Amino acid sequence: MRHRNYRLYWFGQIGSLTGAWMQSVAQPWLVLELGGSPLELGLVLALMFAPSMFLAPIGGVLADRVDKRRTLMVLNAFAMLQAGTLFALAGTGVVEIWHVYLLALAAGFVNAIEMPVRQAFAAELVPAEDLVNAIALNSTSFNLSRVVGPAIAGLTIAAFGVAINFGINAVSYLSVLIGLWMLDGRVLRHIMRPERFPSVRSSLAEGLRYAVATPTVLWPLVLLGGMAMLAMNFQTLLPLFSRDTLALDSGGYGALFAAMGAGSLLGSLILAFGTSQRPMLRFMLGGGAVFLALELALGFVRSPLLAFPLVIGIGLASMLMVNTINVTIQNSVPDALRGRVMSLYVTVFAGTAPLGGLLAGAIAQGFGAPVAISVGAGLAVTILALVAWRLRSVRMPLAAGVAAEAATADRPERVARRAA
């Protein structure tokens, strides 16, 4: 926080992310209000993330070639327009479910390009010796807003309806746009670029070859993809679980989402302010195991008194896992390939969500949300076991050691960004 550029960016993200979480909570509720089925909820999620399956790698190539700050400003302006359009449709009462589909797809196209660029840009905000902690602090901003946003959304839905949340999200983009505009470009850590770039196909192939040949990139990506597709379908299942299984209203649904965010925030703080000697493999696999065990248990719960502590634990354990995956991958990536490799991270994380959302929605429609939660967690256990077996003989460096190596070698290879 002693770096002015990082402070401006961090606080700008807090405002924008709070609005984004309000929209994330309100949009599934709007689908239910419009008579949407569990499968249609899954379809909305699929449309939001499907573009990342195809465009995120292009975004990674772009991130290695463009002025990231200006690109982020343009993309966030488009995101503001999307949220404002949804607010206008819902606020005037003319919104139909196909509008939600179309605008979810539009948001997906923006996010598919914005996320890799944002991931790569964060490495320019702080020096190498602060990058590992900056990663965790970025996640803290993400999860702090994940507590505040859903809690406010639950209250505003109950008091004013869902539309107001989309309007607040649109306005909240001003905070990140102002933060980006106020950055001091003279102290940004600019990454050296070659005079001539290879073709897009060659660039993509180079990043993919590096990821496949590096176990500390490949197997964390496999774990992330399996978890995202099978066990992290909360946007599809949590509104159904809250309404149909726990008999909660919109306020209770927002509180449940906020409780999960509180657990995630705690996990981020543990990584940000805990011991610097962090055993990467233990956090990654241990966090994943606890996450799946708690999610399996959640599928058998019918009482809010039991559900709330479980979702807090789910948020904490999942954040330990996801943040450690992020750190492990970024500790393994040279600056010249950062945008392309992080685009694979985005592709795996966001690109598997459409398949997972449709699968979760289909199971929930046939057997109910609790069964969908437990089945997804059970299937993800096989992915966790596979990754644990493949990484059993791979040396995983401690976070502090890697950061020190980057600083002393004058070879910064770390990036600060939240995990989403």
Rounded to whole angstroms, the Cα distance separating 117 from 343 reads: 8
Of 231, 186, 222, the closest CA to residue 345 belongs to 222
**pLDDT tens per residue across span 255-291:** 888 888 888 888 877 776 654 445 678 888 999 999 9
Residue 134 CB neighbours (<10 A): 23
- Residue identified by tokens 């479910």 is 97
Sketch out the chain's domains with CATH numbers: 4-186+200-408 (1.20.1250.20)
Structure tokens at 209: 């070859």
2-47 pLDDT per residue, tens: 888 889 988 998 889 899 889 988 898 899 889 888 888 888 878 8
283 Cβ partners below 8 Å, 6+ apart?
271, 320, 321, 323, 324
Neighbours of 182 (CB within 10 A): 12
Measured CA to CA, the distance from residue 113 to residue 120 in angstroms comes to 12
pLDDT for 412 beyond 50: no
Q: Which residue has the higher pLDDT, 351 or 388?
A: 388
- Per residue, the 3-state secondary structure of the chain, as one string, reads CCCHHHHHHHHHHHHHHHHHHHHHHHHHHHHHHCCCCHHHHHHHHHHHHHHHHHHHHHHHHHHCCCCHHHHHHHHHHHHHHHHHHHHHHHHCCCCCHHHHHHHHHHHHHHHHHHHHHHHHHHHHCCCHHHHHHHHHHHHHHHHHHHHHHHHHHHHHHHHHCCHHHHHHHHHHHHHHHHHHHHCCHHHCCCCCCCCCCCCHHHHHHHHHHHHHHCHHHHHHHHHHHHHHHHCCCHHHHHHHHHHHHCCCCHHHHHHHHHHHHHHHHHHHHHHHHCCCCCCHHHHHHHHHHHHHHHHHHHCCCCCHHHHHHHHHHHHHHHHHHHHHHHHHHHHCCCHHHHHHHHHHHHHHHHHCHHHHHHHHHHHHHHHCHHHHHHHHHHHHHHHHHHHHHHCCCCCCCCHHHHHHHHHHCCCCCCCCCCCC
Binned at pLDDT 50, 70 and 90, residue 221 comes out as: very high
pLDDT bucket at 353, cuts 50 / 70 / 90: confident
Cα 179 to Cα 7: distance, rounded to the nearest angstrom: 9
Cβ(193)–Cβ(320) under 8 Å?
A: no
Evaluate whether 56 touches 350 at the Cβ level (below 8 Å). yes
Euclidean distance between CA atoms 363 and 145, whole angstroms:
30
pLDDT of residue 36: 82
Q: What are 153-208's pLDDT values in tens digits? A: 888 888 888 999 999 999 999 999 999 999 987 877 666 555 555 565 676 777 78
Identity of the residue numbered 207: G
The predicted structure's pLDDT at residue 388: 92
For the chain, the straight-line distance linking the first and the last C-alpha, in angstroms and rounded, comes to 21
Distance CA 112, CA 75 (A): 10
Kindly state the percentage of the chain with pLDDT values over 90. 32
Does the pTM surpass 0.85? The reply is no
pLDDT of 116: 75
